[in-house]
Amino acid sequence: MDYAKHLIDYLSTNFTLKNHYLVQQKIPLAKIEGNPIDIRVITQWDPDFKDWSVNGKLVKIAQKGYVVTNVARELLLLDEALMRCSIGSAQKIEDKINRACIDISRRLHKNYPAITIIGFDLGVDQKGHIWFIEANLKPDIFMFYRLGDMQMYQKIMKGIKKAKALT
C-alpha cells in the first residue's frame, strides 16, 4: 500500500477542501538524553543605539516521548545545552544564531517599525545547522524567569520598560 498517496488523499478530502495549510518538514533536531530541543531567542529594539540586540537565549528540552517542546521538561542556558548535545562548536552555533536573529529582526523592523521585541523559536539539527521555526511579536518571557538566570530576565524586562517609556 502506498501510505503517502493514501495520506494525501485523506487530507485532501477531509481538510484542504475547507482550509489552507502549511505543512512544515520534520527537522532532525539535536537531542539531549534522547529528547529533542529547540531554542528561544529574544531580540529587542534598543532606541538608544537604534538597533536590535539579543537579550535572551535558552533551550527547551521536550518531555520524554514528545517531538515538540511546547511543554518543556527542562530549560537550559544555550551554551550548556549545546555542550550536552555534542554537535560541534557551541560558540560558532551561538554566533550563527545571534547573527540570524539580528538580521531577521532588522528585516521585520523595516516593515513593522512599531515592534520592539521578537521571540524566535529556532531548531538546531544534529549537524549544527540552524532552522527557523517561528517568530512571535508577543513572546512568552516567563520561561526566562523560570530558567533562573535573573540577569538575563532583568535585561529583557529593562528592554520592555524602555520600549514602553517611548510609547
Asked, for residue 49, whether it belongs to a domain, the answer is: yes
pLDDT of residue 1: 61
* pLDDT confidence of residue 106: 97
Residue 143: inside a domain: yes
pLDDT at 167: 66
Instruction: Assess if residue 31 is contained within a domain.
Output: yes
In a domain, 3, yes or no: no
CA nearest 125: which of 98, 105, 102, 97?
97
The reported pTM is 0.85
Q: What is the CATH number of the domain that holds 37?
A: 3.30.470.20
Domain containing 59 equals: 27-166
Q: What is the pLDDT of residue 2?
A: 79
Grid cell listed for 138? 508577543
- pLDDT tens digits in sequence order for the chain, 167 residues long: 677 788 778 877 776 666 666 667 788 899 999 999 999 999 999 998 999 999 999 999 998 988 777 778 899 999 999 999 888 788 899 999 999 999 999 999 999 999 999 999 999 998 889 999 999 999 999 999 999 989 999 999 999 998 888 76
Domain count for the chain: 1
- 9: in domain: no
CB-CB contact of 77 with 57 (8 Å): yes
Question: How far is the CA of 150 from the CAs of 131, 147, 158, in angstroms?
Answer: 27, 8, 12
Question: What's the pLDDT at 87?
Answer: 83
Q: For residue 112, tell me if it sits in a domain.
A: yes
SS3 143: helix
Residue written as grid cell 537550559:
76
In sequence order, what DSSP letters do the residues of 36-100 get, joined into one string?
EEEEEEEEEEETTTTEEEEEEEEEEEEPTT-SS-SSEEEEEEHHHHHHHHT-S-HHHHHHHHHHH
For residue 10, is it within any domain? no
Q: What is the pLDDT of residue 18?
A: 64
Tell me whether residue 156 is in a domain. Answer: yes
